[in-house]
Amino acid sequence: MAVDYEKDASVNNLRNFLRIRSVHPNIDYAECLTYLRGQASELGLPVQVFEPVAKKPILVMTWEGLEPTLPSILLNSHMDVVPVFEKSWTYPPFEARLVDGVIYGRGVQDMKAVGVMYLEAVKRLKSKGLRFKRTIHLSFVPDEEVGGLKGMGEFVKTEDFKRLNVGFSLDEGLASAGEDYHVYNAERSIWHMTVICPGKSGHGSLLLPDNNGEKIRYIIDKFMDLRQESKNKLKADSSLTIGDVTTVNLTMLHGGIQNNVIPEKLTVSFDLRLATSVDHQEFENMIKRWCSEAGANLSYEFDQKDPYVGPTKVDDSNRFWVAFKGAFDKLKLPLKTRTFPGGTDSRYIREKGIPALGITPFALTHPQIHEQDESLRVEAFLRGITIYEEVIPALANVKHD
């Protein structure tokens, strides 16, 4: 007998959140705040809204613990979603259509479902009259999908964040296509860079010296060779995932004004994601050497250059990890630890020395972040709520020295 999910309150709660078009660019977060204030009111939780950057609000709900001086637990999620090509979707991306037990909508995996699962799990825990040692904060932040610099990136620098007294943070991960649940304790460092290759301008019929075409070819070859090295590593070792290697992608080429005029400058841009094993200074020195070898007067600049941030420990020295894993063990759910291939707001938390894990607790689910027809089985969503019902108390009751 088919289950009628149309009448499930938690499912409809998610669908209502998905219908809010918090889509880049130029997001107005007012509707999200209205929705979240309503959720907090229903839960009986106080709300604070911070705005370290104008029009980039951060909403925090707080469930005070029995020992509120203990470092708190932060359950973080982001409100924004990436743009869509609406004509390529089977169903309208902001309708939250429910078809045969599957919800279709932009953000259903990345990551509005996770935020709603936090809310629904807290709702169930509170309905049982439970209280925990540590205070729990639920944060909903802006602009993660454009790097988070004006969202969590700025928030962690404020006294408001410091007063939250965060001792541990949970954030997003990726769905798992297999039976294992993937938990992410580290992220690669994002470097977005452009190499500028100047040269002698002149007529396109000549073989002038100091040619920027030769220079840019040398640079591209070096970066593409590095890309191939990473591909070879993945092919040679099946235990490695994309998060374990440095990825290199050429993303933009610029230059020239007319086909028969040699330009005075050509530029090439790369998206680099540095593996956690990479020494940042050595890596940049390598780039400097390539620029020197390519010819005269090459330079480079960064649009983004993340610092090295160490992984969160996943051993007995981290009591939050022990509690987190213990909750999954209790549910008999297998865990695999991974390095996140992209970037999440956890990197800003870890940079402050706060342990952070990322998980999107969906197994047997194809990861569909940023894809058209982004979707999620209702069963996986409801199972995720049950998982957080176990995980949140375990974290919030971690003992303090």
Question: Which positions are catalytic?
Answer: 80, 144
Residue 331: both structure tokens together: 């549910």
SS3 116: helix
Residue 176: Cβ within 10 Å count:
23
Mapped to the 3 state alphabet, what secondary structure does 249-276 carry?
A: EEEEEEECCCCCEECCEEEEEEEEEECC
Surface-to-core class of residue 282, CB atoms within 10 Å of its CB (0-12 exposed, 13-18 middle, 19+ buried): exposed
Helix axes 30-43, 9-18, angle to 10 degrees: 160
Contact at 8 Å (CB) between 278 and 230? no
The Cα–Cα gap between 343 and 266 comes to 29
Q: Which residues, in sequence order, are CB contacts of 312 under 8 Å at separation 6+?
A: 185, 186, 318, 321, 350, 355, 356, 357
Surface-to-core class of residue 400, CB atoms within 10 Å of its CB (0-12 exposed, 13-18 middle, 19+ buried): exposed
Distances (CA, A) of 282 to 90, 173, 232, 347, 384: 47, 29, 21, 21, 42
The β-bridge partners of 49 are: 59
SS3 137: strand
The Cα–Cα gap between 136 and 122 comes to 10
SS3 56: coil
State the amino acid at position 89 in one-letter form. Answer: W
Residue 34: name the closest of 52, 23, 24, 19 by CA. 19
